[in-house]
Amino acid sequence: MKQISEKIAIARKSKNMTQTDLARQVNITPQMVSKWERGESLPDVVMLGKLAEILGVNVSYFFCDENTPQETKTAKTKTRAKLNDHKWKGNDFSNSSMVDLDFAFARFVDCNFSLCNISGKKLGYTEFINCNLDNANFTASELKNADFKNCSFCGTIFTNATLNNTDFKNSVFKNCDLKNTIFESCQFKNTTFENCTADKKTYNFLLTCKADIKGLKVN
CA-wise closest residue to 198 among 167, 214, 176: 176
89-114 confidence digits (pLDDT tens): 887 788 877 877 777 788 899 999 99
19-41 confidence digits (pLDDT tens): 999 998 888 999 999 999 988 88
What's the Cα-to-Cα distance from 125 to each of 110, 139, 146, rounded to whole Å?
Answer: 18, 19, 5
Per CATH, the number for 83-218 is 2.160.20.80
Instruction: For domain 2-74, give the fold.
Output: 434 Repressor (Amino-terminal Domain) (1.10.260)
- 18 Cβ neighbours under 8 A, 6+ residues apart: 12, 30
CA-wise closest residue to 148 among 109, 185, 122: 109
pLDDT at position 125, please? Answer: 87
Ranges of residues in the chain whose predicted pLDDT is under 50: 70-82
pTM, whole model, 2 decimals?
0.65
Burial of 59 (0-12, 13-18, 19+ CB in 10 A): buried
In Å, how far from its chain's centre is CA 118?
A: 6
pLDDT at position 73, please? Answer: 37
| In contact, 195 and 216? CB cutoff 8 Å | no
Domains of the chain: which residue ranges? 2-74, 83-218
